[in-house]
A and B are shown apart, each in its own frame.
Chain A
């Protein structure tokens, strides 16, 4: 016999208790500390900071621990926390040209001022499982060199001298903020870049890859990829000058793409831009490719109907917190709507079957007449 479903509240509480127990796992195994996650799962921490739009490695590590390693869930925790924080003001734009680089490579020049610095990269590792890591062991100390003091100028700055790459317009305008104003289209490049910087790495990777495979293809050279720390400065009105309030690690990617030009305008290289919190190289490159694809209109290119060119499509589907929430909401009860659809389909079927029966009867009559 059907009993009205009661006890939702207790079911929820019990589910949460079970979840907490599962999160901890076997208690015979030592518990993970926040510091361990921050230090040893740094790339996961970086992704959570980037897509969570909050630069705080300890909070990101805590979120990863609480989310049992589900990074989208961790990003969600950070986003929900972030919205509750008061805003003191805005910093000055960070000067990535003055970045203290851990890594800096250019695919467009063999060498350039500042040099090619590989840094801590997976790039040339052979992807062989290292069973030594399964056992505990000391890591050999990496060799060190004296830190370089000379600046590492942007590669595109060299091209700009020759006017061979498109200039980006200078602007003192305050960029928009999609977390404070509702999205509207066309969004403008500032909002576009903000949205891409927060966007899902997997989604942007797929879109960027699609441009490489011919859906709005525009071959990109990695003009430069740099990872390192930059100073964050803020103008304090009471003081009347700018002070440094901290530093953040960033990944910046500038791509050099094929040129636009006409009979009157000499051809120039164009560019795409990616800037992401932390060491998040894949995301920064993907962001630069998608940014470049989205610039078709401003650069006078054709709309090829490719997904990566479609601003509304890209921006309204790149946020993994929105996407995952809406995707997973179909788990919620929908039985009221299903019931109304059930009745509708039953009614339509009854009518269709009646029509078929009528038609068959008609055919039989016609058949009889024909045979007579």
Chain B
């Protein structure tokens, strides 16, 4: 595709995005405004992640895209195809082999390495947005480190439900300073936010980029007597028998039968290839 520049965006735009990324890495968890471009896919469908990936990719990179943990969901397919076409980079479904991974709603199960970059698609970057809809106010709250409202919200959850009623996009504090929205990953993934890889977050419609550098302290907000708990379905994967992976619940029939399978399809496949067999693994193979 010669009609467009490498990875679609022009070099000036990429430079602008890289500056925002560097600023984000220098101030972990701080939302850096950037002049988000109109991409040829809709806002809300990963335009932030796509712009960050476009500014990050080099011709030597190997690119992987997941949505809900899976490489084969339609929007992941569509984004992967976009970069195959506009950047001509190698693509893979194997977490191990990827140098840049764009994700929506999940962190891969396999630990990432220092030579990998994880790019998140972010719908609403502002963790305080649903407590205070005004950007003018929330920016002030961040600069004053005024996070009392968030703690009150978590406290009210406990008084009403007996537990913190946030199951995904669970707020974290990064490097003891900024409260950050880790994007709508299930809270099961929160402990993985402290990792060896660079984590970049792109919100296209909201024009924000933020980042978590490798080995940065990331703490899920909680209370001493109501500690944060990373939860998942209390089952093992029915295909690969993994007990440590986040599971999707699949409805099998109208008699209430369910099966639980790894949301990270590459993790599940790797385990099955290594000989692990779950409760229904034989049936599927047959």
Residues of A within 8 A of B (CB): 1-9, 11-12, 76, 79-80, 82-84, 179-186, 312, 316, 321-322, 324-329, 332-337, 339-344, 347-348, 351-352
Contact = CB atoms under 8 A, between A and B. Distances in A.
Given A1-B283, A8-B74, A336 B168 contact: yes
B188 A12 contact: no
B38 A185 contact: no
Given A8-B72, A12-B77, A325 B284 contact: no
Q: Which of A11, A332, A347, A351: most chain B Cβ within 10 A?
A: A332
Interface of B: 4, 10, 33-40, 42-45, 47, 67-70, 72-78, 81, 104-106, 123, 134-136, 161-163, 165, 167-169, 184-188, 205, 207, 231-233, 246-250, 252, 259, 261, 263, 265, 280, 283-284
Contacts of A179: 35, 37-38
7 contacts: A8-B72, A8-B76, A12-B74, A321-B42, A339-B248, A344-B167, A347-B163
Contact of B45 (A181, A183, A316, A332): A332
Contacts of B165: 344, 348
A339 B123 CA distance: 19
Contact of B38 (A6, A83, A183): A83
Contact of A325 (B37, B44, B78, B231): B44
A76 B47 CA distance: 13
A80 B38 contact: yes
B240 to A, nearest CB: 11
Nearest to B44: A329
A348 B161 contact: yes
Given A312-B134, A329-B123, A343-B232, A337 B38 contact: no
A312 B188 CA distance: 35
A344 B162 CA distance: 11
A244 B12 CA distance: 29
A340 B68 contact: no
B34 A340 contact: no
A7 B70 CA distance: 12
Contacts of A185: 135-136
A216 B44 CA distance: 32
B36 A312 contact: no
Contact of A340 (B36, B44, B186, B205): B186
A326 B123 contact: yes
Contacts of A344: 163, 165, 167, 231
Given A12-B77, A82-B38, A336 B265 contact: no
B205 A322 contact: yes
B69 A336 contact: yes
B165 to A, nearest CB: 6
Please report whether the interface of chain A is mostly helix, strand, loop or mixed according to DSSP.
Answer: helix
Contact of B42 (A324, A342, A343): A324
A114 B253 CA distance: 75
A183 B207 contact: yes
Nearest to A15: B74
A340 B168 CA distance: 7
- 4 pairs of A and B residues whose beta carbons are closest in the complex: A325-B43, A329-B44, A325-B42, A182-B33
A283 B162 CA distance: 51
B42 A329 contact: yes
Interface residue SS majority, chain B: loop
B136 A337 contact: no
* Centre residue among A9, A324, A325, A328 by max chain B CB count within 10 A: A325
Contacts of A1: 252, 280, 283-284
B252 A2 contact: yes
Given A2-B250, A182-B36, A337 B74 contact: no
B167 A341 contact: yes
Q: Which of B42, B76, B104, B161 has the most CB of A within 10 A?
A: B42
A83 B261 contact: no
B167 A2 contact: no
A333 B67 contact: yes
Contacts of A182: 33-36, 207
A188 B57 CA distance: 36
Nearest to B286: A1
Nearest to A9: B77
Contacts of A181: 35
Given A12-B74, A348-B161, A348-B165, A340 B81 contact: no
B43 A321 contact: yes
Contact of B233 (A12, A324, A341, A343): A343
B77 A4 contact: no
A194 to B, nearest CB: 14
A340 B72 contact: no
Nearest to A348: B161
A74 to B, nearest CB: 14
Contact of B135 (A80, A84, A312): A312
A327 B42 CA distance: 10
Given A83-B38, A337-B105, A339-B249, A332 B167 contact: no
Contacts of A184: 33
A348 B40 contact: no
Given A2-B252, A185-B135, 8 more contacts: A4-B265, A5-B70, A8-B72, A325-B43, A332-B104, A337-B184, A341-B168, A344-B163
A340 B72 CA distance: 21
Contacts of B233: 339, 343
Contact of B72 (A5, A343, A352): A5
Contact of A2 (B75, B81, B259): B259
B6 to A, nearest CB: 13
Contacts of B167: 337, 340-341, 343-344
